[in-house]
Structure 1
Amino acid sequence: MSDSRTYKVAGVRGLNMVREWPNDQTRYVAILIHGYGEHMGRYEHVADRLVRHGAAVYGVDHVGHGKSEGDRALVVDFEDVVTDVHALEERARADHPGVPVVAIGHSMGGMIAARYAQRYGTGLTALVLSGPVIGRWDLVSTLLSFDEIPDMPLDPAMLSRDPSVGAAAAADPLVWQGPFKRATLEAFAEMLTTIAKGGTFGALPTLWLHGEDDQLVPPGPSRDGIDAVRGSDLTERIYSGGRHEVFNETNKEEVLDDVTSFLDRALTVRNP
C-alpha cells in the first residue's frame, strides 16, 4: 500500500483530520470524499490504486466523522462540508500547482461531490460519483416522519458481497454504529433539494457508479437525481449484483479499472 500521512486543518466547524497519499510524480490530484458514518482510513486501497495511476490523493474526515472534531455523525449544514472540501482542494493545488484535479465521492460523499461540482466544477477535470445519495433517498423522509428517530442498525451485508467488508466496518471504532440524528437527516433533505435546483454539471466529464443490488441507496432514485443534474458528458456503470460499496465489492478491481480508464479519457481531453 502507498504511504499516507495525516494532519489537522481548520474547518468551518472545528479541526478536521486530513489524510494525504503523496506522489513524487503527480499527474493529477484526486480528492476523495467519504460517506456517512465512516472515515478516510477505509479508502487506503482506493488511494493506493490512484497513486499507482499517477495521482496525489487527498481526503478529509468530515465534521463529526473519523478523527475530526464535532459530535459524532452530526452534520447540520452540508454546504459547510463542501466548503471544507474546497479548502482541501486549495491546499492540494498549492502543493501541486497547475495539476488537474478530480473529485471522487461515495454515497453521502457522492452527494457532497455533486454539490461541489455545482459550486466549484469549473476547476475540476472530472467527477466520479459512487452510489451517490442524490435525487430522492426514502430513508431520510421515512426516519423524519417519526417523533423519535428509531435506532435501525445497518445490516453489514448491505455493504458488499464480501462478508469481510461488513465485518471490518462493524468492528471499526471510527465507524458510527448509532442512529441518525434529526439535524443530520434534515441537512440531507435540504441538500438534496439544493442540488435538484442547483443546475447541471455542464461539460464536466462525470462517471456514475452504482451496484445494481444496492439496497441502502437504491439506484432508481439516484438515477432520477443524476438525470436532473447531468451535463453533456455522463458515463454510467451499473454492476450486476453489486451492493452499496462498489469500491469494496468482490469485483472492486473491475470498478477501479473503470475509474482509471475514465480518468485517462478525461485527462487526455484536458491535455491532448
Structure 2
Amino acid sequence: MAQAREWEFAGVRGAITARIWPADGPRYVAVLAHGYGEHLGRYEHVADALVRHGATVCGPDHMGHGRSAGERVLVEDYEDVVADLHTVVEAARDDHPDVPVVLIGHSMGGMIATRYAQLHGDGLAALVLSGPVLGRWRTVDALLPLDDMPDEPIDTATLSRDPSVGAAYTADPLVWHGPFKKPTVRALDACLRRIGGHGPLGPLPTLWLHGDDDRLVPLDGTRTGIEEVRGTDLTERIYPGARHEVFNETNRDEVLGDVTAFIDRVLERAAPSA
C-alpha cells in the first residue's frame, strides 16, 4: 500500500491539511476531492491504485472536514473550497512541472471539481466525476426551506453493497455524523446554480461514473447537471446495481480499471508523436 505524508497550509478560512502519496517519476498527478462529511483518508485504496498506475496522488481535507480547521461541515461559500483545492494543484504543479494533472472528485467533491474545471480547466488534462452532486440534488431541495436541520444519520447501506464499507464509515471518528449546517445548504444551492449558469466544459476530457442504485445522489438529478456542463469529450459509465460510493463498491476493481483506462487514453492522445 502506498504511504501518504501530510502537509498543512493556510487556507482561505483556516489551516488545511493535505495528503500526498508520491510516485517516482510520475506520468501524471492525480488530485482527489472528497465528498461531504468525509475526508481524504477514506481514499487510501484509490490512491494506491493510482500510484501503481504511475501517478503522484494528492488532495486536501476540505475546510471543516477531516483534519482541516473550521467548524465541522460548515462551508459558507464553495468558491473558498475551490480556492483551497487550487493551492493543492499549484503545489503539485510546482513539484512536478510539465506533468499532466487529472482531477478526480466524488459526490460533493465532484461538484467542487466541476467548478474548479470551469475556472481552471485549461490547467487540467482530464476530469473524473464519481456520483457528483450536480444539477438537482433532492437533499438540498428538501433542506433549503427548513429553519432547523433534521439530525437523521445516514443509512450506511446506501454507500455500498459491501457492508464493511458502512461499518467503517460509522466507526470513523473523522467522518461527520451530525446534521447539515444551514449555511452549508445555502452554499451548496448557490454553487449548483453557479455551475449550471457557467456553461459547458469545452474540450476537457471528462469521465462520469455513477451507480444506477445511488439513493444519496440519484442518477436523474445528476444527469440534469451533466447536460448543463458537458463538453465535447464526455465518457459515461453507469454501473448496474451500484450505490453511491462506486470506488467502494463490490465492483471497485472494475471502476478503478475504468478510471485508469480513461487516463491512459487521455495521456496517449496528448503524447507528442515521434
The separation in 1 between residues aligned to 2:138 and 2:157, in whole angstroms, is 20
2:196 — aligned with what? 196
- Report deviation, 1:257: 0.2
2:217 match: secondary structure: coil
Aligned equivalent of 2:176 = 176
The aligned residue for residue 217 of structure 2 is 217
SS in 2 for 1:197: helix
Aligned residue type for 1:188: L
Matches within 5 A, 1:125-140: 125-140=125-140
Query: Structure 1 residue 147: deviation in Å?
Result: 2.4
**Cα-Cα RMSD:** 0.6
Q: Deviations over 1:174-194 (max 9, x none)?
A: 000000000000000000000
Number of residue pairs matched by the alignment: 272
User: With structure 2 as the length reference, what TM-score do the two structures score?
Assistant: 0.98
1:13 paired with 2:13, answer yes
Structure 2 residue aligned with 1:265: 265
Alpha-carbon distance between aligned partners in 2 of 1:141 and 1:213, rounded to the nearest angstrom = 20
Q: Which residue in the other structure is 2:64 paired with? A: 64
What is the distance in 1 between the residues matched to 2:56 and 2:35? 20
TM-score if structure 1 supplies the norm length? 0.99
Identity %: 64
> Equivalent residues in 2 for 1:17-56 (5 A)?
17-56=17-56
Q: Residue deviations 1:183-212, cap 9 Å, x none?
A: 000000000000001121100000000000
Counterpart of 2:209 in structure 1: which amino acid? L
Q: What is the match of residue 243 of structure 1?
A: 243
- Residue identity opposite 1:82 in structure 2: V
Tell me, in whole angstroms, the C-alpha distance in 2 between the residues paired with 1:245 and 1:51. 20
Shift of 1:152: 1.6
Counterpart secondary structure, 1:66 = coil
Greater shift, 141-150 or 1-10, is seen at: 141-150
Residue 145 of structure 1: how far off its partner (Å)? 1.9
3-state SS of paired residue (2:105): strand
2:182 and 2:146 mapped to 1: Cα distance? 10
Note if 1:3 corresponds to 2:3. Answer: yes
Partner Cα distance (1:169, 1:187) in 2: 25
What SS does structure 1 have at the residue aligned with 2:198?
coil
The letter for the 2-side match of 1:92 is A
In structure 2, the residue matched to 1:88 is 88
Alignment partners' CA distance in 2, 1:213 and 1:88: 33
Q: Take 1:123 and 1:156, find their aligned partners in 2: how far apart are those partners?
A: 36
Q: Distance in 1 between matches of 2:105 and 2:62?
A: 12
The alpha-carbon deviation at position 138 of structure 1 amounts to 1.2
* Aligned twin of 1:115: 115
After the TM superposition, which segments of 4 or more aligned residues of structure 1 sit over 2 Å from their partners? none
Unaligned segments of structure 2, at least 5 residues: none
